[in-house]
A = this chain, B = another copy of it.
């Protein structure tokens, strides 16, 4: 569960296929969605493997994970530095944002309470410009 161990992670056809397919998508995709896309693209891979691989990549910090409003996990390849997202809860559009002071603050407040190895998650959601006007 903590598993920060890079220990034994073997490169396989499926693993690189997942990474590659993920690169072909600009936005966040769910495991189900990615699996469907891969299959559609003639890439034979098991659903369980997609889940496992995404989880492993996320654990390695290669992917960003967040949850849609209905609880589905969605993934996206992320850049090397830590950042957060502003997500439209209507259309799902995501904007990458930064919270410079937050990084330090998290460390600090963690330290103050005697916490170690502190990580944080920030999600900001709202309604984007497009979706404000087109309200049903």
Are A123 and B121 neighbours in the complex by a CB distance under 8 Å?
yes
Are A118 and B114 neighbours in the complex by a CB distance under 8 Å?
no
Digit string of A75-107 for contact with B (CB within 8 Å is 1, else 0)?
000000000001011100001010101100110
Report B-chain residues with C-beta under 8 Å of the C-beta of A101.
101
Are B117 and A120 neighbours in the complex by a CB distance under 8 Å?
no
Are B114 and A119 neighbours in the complex by a CB distance under 8 Å?
no
Digit string of A100-136 for contact with B (CB within 8 Å is 1, else 0)?
0110011001100111111111111111110010011
Are B113 and A128 neighbours in the complex by a CB distance under 8 Å?
yes
Q: In the complex this chain forms, how many copies of it are found? A: 2
Are A125 and B120 neighbours in the complex by a CB distance under 8 Å?
yes
Does chain B have a CB within 8 A of A11?
Answer: no
Most chain-B Cβ atoms within 10 A of its Cβ — which of A67, A71, A119, A120? Answer: A67
Cα–Cα, bound, A2→B71 (Å): 17
Does chain B have a CB within 8 A of A73?
Answer: yes
